[in-house]
Structure 1
Amino acid sequence: MDKRSRIALYAIGAIIVLMMIAEVSKPKALNWRDSYTATDKIPLGSYVLFNELKTISNKPISVSTKTVFESLKDFDTNKKTVSIFINNGISFDKQDTETLLKYVENGNSVFISTNYMYGNLSDTLNIRIGSDYNNFFKKPSLNGFISPGLKPNQRTFKDVIENSFFISIDTLNAVALGTTKVEKTETITKDTFPDTNINFIKVPFGNKNGAFYMHTNPFAFSNYHMLNGNDVYAATVLSFLPKHEIIWDNYYKSGRKVITSPLRFVLQSKALKWAFYITLVSLILFVIFKGKRTQRIIPVVEPLKNATLDFTKTIGDLYYQHGDFTNIINNKIQYFLEQIRSKYYLNTNELSENFISKLAIKSSNKKEDTKALIDYIVFLKSKNTHTETDLIQLNKLIETFTKNNI
């Protein structure tokens, strides 16, 4: 690589590194998503409020991550609590509504702050929440209280606000506690909404001092406003609640983390979740230890070919095809005698009667069979030419001798 190419390559690498550093170090975009969960520190989370409640409340605070029906169906009726629901929109089904009404009827209280509410509960309490989208939906609004003594605690929300209010309440039961006021900059024909509207009410329910506290400005409890001087307003709203143990809802939230895995049903059950994890870990351990204990498959290795044996067979076949029986018989006799010398340590120079007796004893053969073989070998060695019959007879005698020896 020449010098010019090397410089170009270094320049490209430096540019890539700088781009990576710029990408990593650049500030993250601010997340303005509605959340209202106790753990979210984004502007519209409720981390600040939840932790302030823990510091100022002398009662324990529990967090509910289940539906109203699941968390309150078996609640202790002798224990008085306050359940807090804060979210941009809230809706309860029939089963949850019946559980919530029974809960309040037993002397407990429920605080709900939301911009939108629909379903069975709003129908039962005979309330409706709306907004004037033509005039002051997101304009600065003054949120205050009905009581003159609380006027110092009212606050103006200049931004990050959706001005909702009650457009219909049960005037026989509901008690107005707070209002929201927006200055209209234009006069619109047939405008039916006044400048000041009710945004905080109390609806007593049952005969045991239970009540619903309904509020239409959940933004007041977000991190953004709690850290921008409007925390006094939020504290004043919550001061209307009874001083009971608090149940913080973390289920009916826009920012609630939902398990999207196909194993959602398993992971939502504590027993099934632990069973799944234990099974998974057991399978991993089984694979690890089983893999170590099981020997690898040993490949079949073909034995090395005996080239000498192949060569001998080839030579033998060649002799046999050419009818050279004499050469075959001589080689066979020499091979047989060599085996006797190496195996039984006998001298084969003289094939005498003494030799035959020793060979019969050492090889565990009958003396008659041994004598027949040796005598035949002597006979063949005395001949100059041999026939195929001679070779066959010699082979039979050697095989019989070999089968019986040790």
Structure 2
Amino acid sequence: MKKEFPIILVIVVLIIFGAFALGIKRTKTIDWEESFNEKSTKPYGLSIFYRELPFLFDEYEIRTVYHQPHSYLAANSEDGWGDHVAKGNYIKIGNSDYLTPLSVHELLNFVNNGNTLFISDYYFAKEIQDTLDIDIGFEYNPSKDSISELSFTNKSLNFTKIDKNDGDYYFTDYDSISTTVLGHVKTDKKRTNFIHTSFGKGSIYLHLEPKVFTNYNLLKEDRYKYVESLLSYLPDNDVYLDSYSKYQTGYDGEVEQESNLSWFLDQLAFRWAWYTAIIFGLLFMIFNAKRRQRIIKIITPLQNTTVAFVKTISNLYFETKDYKNLIEKKITYFFEKIRTDYNLNTNELNEAFISKLAAKSGKKKNDVKTLINYIKLIQSKREYFEGNLVTLNKHIENFYS
């Protein structure tokens, strides 16, 4: 170890010197990309809006939607397999061009059932524009300072000004009978940029300046008051915020938020501290790979019990990620128990079967229907994931609890 110490010392000094030199030479550039990412701390990210949203809708639940709306809303509907029925306000800031025709249909159905849709973007999906009979235009900002003024028809609400604005998007055409003009944008002339229209039992609010929700504008002067006035039009209810990040797979349950490690890696000091810790860890492993004495393994006898055997087999399937086998066996054992305990035929999983099972088991029909519908859904899949197994297990445990 004494012979190795000088080598380790030289390596550590070189690493620290290199990190310091790179840190001095590196020039921090500001990324002005309009990502509208709710996790981004960059000027045109939405991290501040995302953090403050629970305070704007106090006492109501804020859910982040990481899936396509058609998948998420269909699952969390009256006849869906989700863990709740989606009701309230659906908010989308920027990036609405990803919306598929199926997602637009599901969003409009969501509104038709008495809910609210709020979208702030420069353009909207073609299906939305066609359904609501609207057109959008663009006018370059003639002012040298690129400043536009945003205001409301209701003069008691807060107006604001935004800079770094190359031009104004505005509504060139809309149904004046069913549409209410709520706000305007102005450079050389005033133009409509915020409207409301009723759709079925619900409401749709369309806004054409998503930059007001970004970190840069919320931190500048009192522009946040304009955003507060915008959201004051929405009813007090739960909020579904459409995420910048999207899982393209079908909805199988709530998705937990991703780690914030990326924020630390954006900070120069934290990033080099992280890299240095990894390098030191690797060096420690390399120089301690050779031990002075062989490790004497302690072999414990296997316990030949039924429970231990079952756990071993289960762990084997789980560790090899054989979710398909586990799911099929779990469904098979569940149906065998139904046939044994309640003397029911499980060949046809129809409405009559659900009613009989609910009656004999004493469970609520909706709970039984959710379980059977999820089993039918999962049997139709070709691929299985850990989330499918966890959700199935939760439904079955709820049935027996």
Judging changes above 3 Å, is the alpha-carbon distance between structure 1 residues 88 and 76 closer, same or farther for their aligned structure 2 residues?
closer
Structure label with greater radius of gyration: 1
Judging changes above 3 Å, is the alpha-carbon distance between structure 1 residues 173 and 29 closer, same or farther for their aligned structure 2 residues?
same
Tell me, yes or no, if the aligned pair for 2:69 and 2:107 is still in contact at 8 Å. Answer: yes
Q: How big is the shift at 1:34?
A: 1.9
Q: How big is the shift at 1:93?
A: 2.6
Structure 2 counterpart SS, 1:116:
coil
Structure 1 counterpart SS, 2:106:
helix
1:169-248 equivalences in 2 (<5 Å): 169-183=174-188, 195-206=189-200, 208=201, 210-229=202-221, 230-248=223-241
Tell me, yes or no, if the aligned pair for 2:67 and 2:249 is still in contact at 8 Å. Answer: no
Judging changes above 3 Å, is the alpha-carbon distance between structure 1 residues 265 and 64 closer, same or farther for their aligned structure 2 residues?
closer
Judging changes above 3 Å, is the alpha-carbon distance between structure 1 residues 16 and 85 closer, same or farther for their aligned structure 2 residues?
closer
Judging changes above 3 Å, is the alpha-carbon distance between structure 1 residues 257 and 146 closer, same or farther for their aligned structure 2 residues?
same
Counterpart AA for 2:154: S
Judging changes above 3 Å, is the alpha-carbon distance between structure 1 residues 50 and 213 closer, same or farther for their aligned structure 2 residues?
same
Where does residue 267 of structure 2 map in the other structure? none
Where does residue 99 of structure 1 map in the other structure? 106
Judging changes above 3 Å, is the alpha-carbon distance between structure 1 residues 86 and 162 closer, same or farther for their aligned structure 2 residues?
farther
Judging changes above 3 Å, is the alpha-carbon distance between structure 1 residues 137 and 44 closer, same or farther for their aligned structure 2 residues?
farther
1:288-327 equivalences in 2 (<5 Å): none
TM-score of the two chains, using structure 1 as the length reference: 0.53
Q: How big is the shift at 1:130?
A: 2.0
Tell me, yes or no, if the aligned pair for 1:91 and 1:117 is still in contact at 8 Å. Answer: no
Structure 2 counterpart SS, 1:156:
strand
Structure 2 counterpart SS, 1:103:
helix
Cα RMSD, aligned residues only: 3.4
* Structure 1 segments unaligned to the other structure (5+ residues): 1-13, 184-194, 259-263, 282-406
* Structure 2 segments unaligned to the other structure (5+ residues): 1-12, 79-84, 254-314, 323-401
Q: How big is the shift at 1:107?
A: 0.2
Q: Give a deviation string over 1:219-268, Cα, whole Å, max 9, x none.
A: 00001101112111111101111111000000xx3xx377xxxxx979x9
Q: Give a deviation string over 1:108-153, Cα, whole Å, max 9, x none.
A: 0000000122311111011122211374799211000001222xx1
Judging changes above 3 Å, is the alpha-carbon distance between structure 1 residues 212 and 27 closer, same or farther for their aligned structure 2 residues?
same
Counterpart AA for 1:225: N
Matched residue count: 242
Tell me, yes or no, if the aligned pair for 1:137 and 1:162 is still in contact at 8 Å. Answer: no
Pairing partner for 1:90 from 97, 100, 110: 97
Tell me, yes or no, if the aligned pair for 2:48 and 2:218 is still in contact at 8 Å. Answer: yes
In 2, the alpha carbon distance for the partners of 1:275 and 1:117 equals 49
Where does residue 372 of structure 1 map in the other structure? none
Where does residue 63 of structure 2 map in the other structure? 62
Identity %: 27
In 2, the alpha carbon distance for the partners of 1:276 and 1:143 equals 59
Tell me, yes or no, if the aligned pair for 1:205 and 1:212 is still in contact at 8 Å. Answer: yes
Counterpart AA for 2:319: I
Where does residue 320 of structure 1 map in the other structure? none
Counterpart AA for 1:234: V
1:73 aligns with 2:63: no
Q: Give a deviation string over 1:341-372, Cα, whole Å, max 9, x none.
A: xxxxxxxxxxxxxxxxxxxxxxxxxxxxxxxx
Structure 2 counterpart SS, 1:35:
coil
Structure 1 counterpart SS, 2:44:
coil
Judging changes above 3 Å, is the alpha-carbon distance between structure 1 residues 16 and 66 closer, same or farther for their aligned structure 2 residues?
closer
Structure 1 counterpart SS, 2:161:
strand
Counterpart AA for 1:60: E
Counterpart AA for 1:228: K
Where does residue 278 of structure 1 map in the other structure? 319
1:148-159 equivalences in 2 (<5 Å): 148-150=155-157, 153-159=158-164
Counterpart AA for 2:133: N
Judging changes above 3 Å, is the alpha-carbon distance between structure 1 residues 119 and 21 closer, same or farther for their aligned structure 2 residues?
same
Q: How big is the shift at 1:35?
A: 1.7
